[in-house]
């Protein structure tokens, strides 16, 4: 069990709670597992499910289907459509709001307006949500354990800064947000991060018209 989800299990042993995200993504989101080749070999290469340790793993999986996805879709459409309810939440939510009135509780992503006390106000959080004829009602859960609030709160503040920078078209704010990304900060210097952000802006300038001017 440990070897299948090494990153998640290491975080459980350190923080006392088991994270829901996969080992692969957790190793990207945090500073502890990918900052040196030996750590990548130890935690991100052997027997860790969706965490094979090499760059753009899932992107490369998608690229394998570039020439086959249309034929795969045609094949799917030829098969009989199954109308019985599946495991996705949407049918249950719609039924609770518009259907027979049977309430449905699920974990949903909503903005943090008094739901988790020690995370930034207004950031996106996942909390219990009750669906009923009255609509969607988010349920307050109070404080997170401090070691988890620190982990999640850091990411939330970085994301808020990146969003503000994008809305304002401010390259410097984007750079500052990337400076605090845990894995980036663990691997790169401030100057290296600036060079990387400049390169990213140059590569994506056609899709980021709100950002004007030259290099940072």
Domains in the chain, number = 3
What mean pLDDT, rounded, does the chain reach? 91
Task: Check whether residue 124 and residue 153 sit in a common domain.
Answer: no
Task: Check whether residue 99 and residue 152 sit in a common domain.
Answer: no
Q: Identify the CA nearest to 129 among candidates 102, 105, 111.
A: 105
In a domain, residue 151? The reply is yes
In a domain, residue 71? The reply is no
Q: Give the domain extent around 34.
A: 6-53
In a domain, residue 111? The reply is yes
Task: Check whether residue 106 and residue 152 sit in a common domain.
Answer: no
Task: Check whether residue 112 and residue 154 sit in a common domain.
Answer: no
Task: Check whether residue 172 and residue 127 sit in a common domain.
Answer: no
90: CB partners within 8 A, 6+ apart: none
Total-model pTM? 0.81
Task: Check whether residue 115 and residue 165 sit in a common domain.
Answer: no
Last residue of a domain, one of 138, 166, 197: 138
| 216 residues of the chain, pLDDT tens digit each | 888 888 999 999 999 999 988 888 888 899 999 999 999 888 888 756 666 666 677 788 889 899 999 999 999 889 888 888 888 889 899 999 998 879 999 999 999 999 999 999 999 999 999 999 999 999 999 999 999 999 999 999 999 999 999 999 999 999 999 999 999 999 999 999 999 999 999 999 999 999 987 788
In a domain, residue 77? The reply is no
Q: Look at residue 16 in the predicted model and tell me its pLDDT.
A: 97
Task: Tell me the DSSP string of 138-163.
Answer: E---BPPPHHHHHHHHHHHHHHHHHH
Q: Look at residue 207 in the predicted model and tell me its pLDDT.
A: 94
In a domain, residue 1? The reply is no
């Amino acid at each position: 069990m440990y070897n299948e989800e090494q990153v998640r299990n290491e975080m459980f042993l350190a923080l006392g709670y088991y994270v829901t995200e996969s080992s692969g993504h957790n190793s990207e989101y945090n500073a502890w597992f990918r900052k040196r080749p030996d750590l990548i070999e130890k935690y991100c290469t052997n027997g860790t499910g969706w965490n094979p340790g090499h760059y753009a793993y899932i992107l490369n999986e998608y690229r394998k289907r570039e020439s086959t996805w249309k034929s795969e879709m045609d094949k799917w459409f030829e098969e009989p459509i199954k109308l019985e309810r599946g495991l996705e939440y949407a049918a249950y939510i719609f039924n609770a709001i518009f259907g027979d009135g049977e309430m449905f509780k699920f974990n949903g992503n909503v903005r943090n307006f008094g739901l988790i006390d020690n995370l930034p106000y207004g950031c996106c959080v996942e909390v219990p949500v009750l669906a009923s004829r009255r609509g969607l009602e988010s349920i307050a859960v109070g404080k997170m354990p401090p070691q988890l609030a620190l982990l999640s709160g850091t990411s939330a503040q970085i994301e808020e800064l990146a969003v503000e920078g994008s809305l304002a078209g401010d390259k410097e704010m984007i750079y500052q947000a990337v400076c605090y990304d845990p894995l980036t900060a663990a691997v790169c210097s401030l100057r290296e991060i600036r060079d990387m952000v400049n390169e990213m802006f140059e590569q994506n300038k056609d899709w980021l018209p709100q950002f004007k001017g030259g290099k940072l």
